[in-house]
Structures are given as structure tokens and as C-alpha cells.
A and B are shown apart, each in its own frame.
Chain A
Amino acid sequence: MSNLLTWKEVPKGAFLEKPGNAADYETGDWRSIKPVWIAENCIQCFRCWVYCPDAAIMTKDKKMIGIDYKHCKGCGICANECPAKPKALEMINESDSGDN
């Protein structure tokens, strides 16, 4: 536990002064299945974005641009809710995926 703070270093009364630093904590290794985004099928409806429990659908300039695999826990909600036909999000086994 050597890199942990000592009692003299911990913030008084456990007040945490780093808002939102959980974003530095990666939950991506929780996945057993993972969503893959098929850009050409995407109708940019933002359903996946509004329903993701982990804010792991990345957007930029009002466009869905992919998945934040550092945080995506692989719940499958996005793929389930994707209304595009054919779907723009598909779940595959983590073991079947390449890098990421």
C-alpha cells in the first residue's frame, strides 16, 4: 500500500477535491461482450448515447463517433436500443475482438 496516502496526507474529513476524477478509473476490463459500431449503418439518432449507463458513447460536434472502451462495461443496452436497420451497434464476444 506504499503509494497510498498516509493519515497526514489524506484530505481532512475525506472531502474529495477532484470533481469527476472517476473518469480516470477504467471499467473497460469488466466486459465479456463488447459493442462494435458500424458507422455506415448509423443514423445518428443518439439513442445509444442517451441510454448508456456509463456515458461510454463518444460524441463530437453532435455526432456519434464511437465507443469509449476504457469505460464501456459491455451491458449491451446500446445495441439493444439501436433502432437502425440493420443495427449500427452489435455485441460480440470480447475474446473474438481484435485489439482495443
Chain B
Amino acid sequence: MQEKIALTGNEAMALAMKQINPDVVAAYPITPATEIVQIFSDYVSNGLVKTEFVTVESEHSAMSATLGASASGVRAMTATSSQGLAFMWEVLYIAASYQLPIVMPVVNRALSGPINIHGDHSDTMGARDSGWLQIYSENTQEAYDNLIQAVRIAEHPDVLLPTMVMMDGFIISHAMENLEILSDQDVQKFVGEFKHHRPALLDLDNPITVGPLALYDYYMEFKRQQAEAMRTCKPVILQVAQEYAELTGRKYGLYEGYKLDDADLAIVVLSSTAGTAKVVVDELREQGVKAGLLKLRVFRPFPYEELAQALSGRKAIAVLDRADGFSAFGGALFNEIRSAMYDVKDRPLIVDYIFGLGGRDVNLDHIRKVYADLAEIAKTGQAAQLVSYLGVRE
């Protein structure tokens, strides 16, 4: 049974958290994710969840307490954004290395400085190598759906890795949209009772030591093992998506191709910008231009094989990065897509556009310009500039 209602992204995430009904939540406010924490507090105060809520004094402690709870053998969650995520950085790695299935909504916001509260992806791109799964959402519906699926993915015995689910700050977190929601019971049934697939700290009869020192004789084996969990979790993500589709009718994959199959010109992008790009794709298609779009949903693990396959046969590709990599060679998405395309026969030219930093508006004209550039690249077989900035004052 599904119900159609209008919610903001934050309301949808908070609702999903309520329906997941975790045992422990430890969280700290930060714009634009504050509402998630506030709304959830309301659920706690009114007895609508069984959750024990810890009002920690910082995000570092939020992640630390969430880690402690998760290692204890319960379902634990938190939520954050930007500086909060950066403040958690140290513990993100530790949570992943302990292979704890923590699930966390992250509302994407630019990292300081200058301080800025609006959406870009510099926060989660900074955490891309922390060992967390990363799932990006285009809109409120996806944010809601992804968070519910994330619980099943993270807790799957073949995965057991922490997972963050993203949506764009303000653009999605504060925008009211219609979405379909499940009943509490259906979500409960879908996520299931929390099962320990690990020894737990609170199993008092079998005391364990969590977080020992491992030096050059062992550290590498632990890292190799951790890498394997990330390497092999794609089938689980797809299996969970399949079950979710059976329940809701909404289909998810590792990415979404939009008019991609026969496209000559393709844009690759994450999150809400895909919505804007789809409008332009439709427009161009009407004009007979073979434009297409690839919206990446799962950035970690990076589905390089699937992406290479989906993008091979295109004539020119533009990757839109909502975070600069400061490597002097474009953003992370660009670099990884290019790397994934290396083995493709007759690989297309691939260029990068850094855009939307600090919430800088990206409109239809920007996207039109990108497709126009791509058309030129496809025609000439040359890209004037590999990495450029979209919407910056020159």
C-alpha cells in the first residue's frame, strides 16, 4: 500500500528513518540537514519510534556514538551535511574498517571556506575513499527510496559496510515534492529485524575486542578484506533494488540511463542536476539531436564495468562535477569515468565541467551549452578544453 503525499527532502528522509525505526540515533544539527534531526527528535519525543536518541555535542561524537552502538549489535543511524561530515571524517574510515552497517543520510552542501550553506558535492566527494557506500538521489522520492534500500544493502552479510545516501542541499532537502510513500509496516517488513551478522560487543557471554592495533604484519590483510566487501557488493545492491521494485514499482539500478542507448552526446551527472538535464535532452531529441544522459546513482562502489558498457558507442561525453578535485585535472567523477572508459574500443572524447559550487544555479542554458560543446567535439574530434567551469564569471 502506497500513499501519495507532498514532502520536502528532509521530511522524506526523516520519515524513512522513522519507518526504519533504528535502535539508536546519535545526531547533531547542521544546515541543511538540521530538519532531519529535528523531525526525528519529534518522533522520539512523541513515542513514535523505539529509538534511543543521543543528542551528542558534535558530529565527531555523533559518528563515534553511532559506531559504538553499531558495534554493540543494534541498528544505528545518524544524519549530517558538509562541515559535519568533514568533522566525522576520521571516524568514517574507522566505521568502514570495522565493517559496521551504519546508514546515514547526507544532505550535500559545500565545504568551507568561504563558509556557504548551499548544495554542492564537495562534502561527500571528500569522503569518497572512506570505505562507505555512496548512493546519490535525484529527488525526494529517490532520497526516500534509497534510504530504505540502504539499510538492506548495508546490513547484508555479504556487504556489512556503512552506507551514505545523498540528496542535494536546499534544492531537494527544502523543496516540496510529491512522492509515494510506503506504510510503516511495509518498510518494517522490507528492512526486517536487525540481525547480527557479526560478533557484538554487548554479547556479554562472548567478550570481543573491537579496534585492536594491527601493524605491518596484519593491517594489509584487513584492508584487502575490506576492499573485497566493496568489490563484491554490487549484486546485493541490484537484488535489493529488484525486491524494492516488486514492492513499489519503482526501479533502481547502479545508474539510470536517460535516452542513452542510441545517444551520440552524453552527459554524466549526479543528483538533482539530472532533472534539469533531462529537460534539455528532451528538447534536443525533438530537434533531432541524439542527446542522452547518464545519472549515476551508486558512486561507491564505482560501477566501472557497467558505466563503460553504457557509455561506449557515444561520440562525446561531458561529465558534470559538482565539486572540484583541486588536482588541477578536474573533478573526481570525471577522472573515474575517464578511467572506466580507458579499455573501451574507440572510446569517445570525455570532458569535464565543474559546476554549481556553493549552490551556484545551473539552468537549462548551461546544460544546452554543454550539449552544444559536445556536438562540436563530436564533429571536430577535438576538445578545446578538457576541464572547464560552468557558470563562473570569467
Contacts and interface: CB of A to CB of B under 8 A. Distances in A.
A15 B73 CA distance: 13
Interface stretch (A2-10, A49-57, A60-68, A84-92): A2-10
SS class, residues of chain A in contact with chain B:
loop
Contact of A14 (B160, B206, B212): B212
A13 B73 CA distance: 14
Interface in A1-34: 1, 4-10, 12-17, 19
Interface stretch (B58-66, B215-223, B381-389): B215-223
B334 to A, nearest CB: 32
Contact of B160 (A7, A12, A19): A12
Chain B CB within 10 Å, residue with most, of A6, A12, A13, A16: A13
Judged by DSSP, the binding face of B is loop
Nearest to B220: A7
Contacts of B198: 12-13, 15
User: What bracket does the count of chain B residues touching chain A fall in?
Assistant: 20 to 34
B221 A6 contact: yes
A5 B224 CA distance: 12
Instruction: Assign chain A's interface to a size class.
Output: 10 to 19
B130 to A, nearest CB: 15
B209 A8 contact: no
A76 B352 CA distance: 68
Given A15-B198, A17-B199, A10 B209 contact: no
Contacts of A4: 217-218, 221
B249 interface: no
Interface of A: 1, 4-10, 12-17, 19
Given A12-B198, A13-B97, A15-B210, 18 more contacts: A1-B217, A4-B218, A5-B218, A7-B224, A7-B225, A13-B99, A13-B100, A13-B226, A14-B97, A14-B98, A14-B214, A14-B218, A14-B222, A15-B98, A15-B209, A16-B208, A16-B212, A19-B209
Interface of B: 97-100, 160, 198-199, 206-212, 214, 217-218, 220-222, 224-226, 228
14 contacts: A4-B221, A6-B221, A7-B221, A10-B218, A12-B198, A13-B222, A13-B226, A14-B212, A14-B218, A15-B209, A15-B210, A16-B212, A17-B208, A19-B209
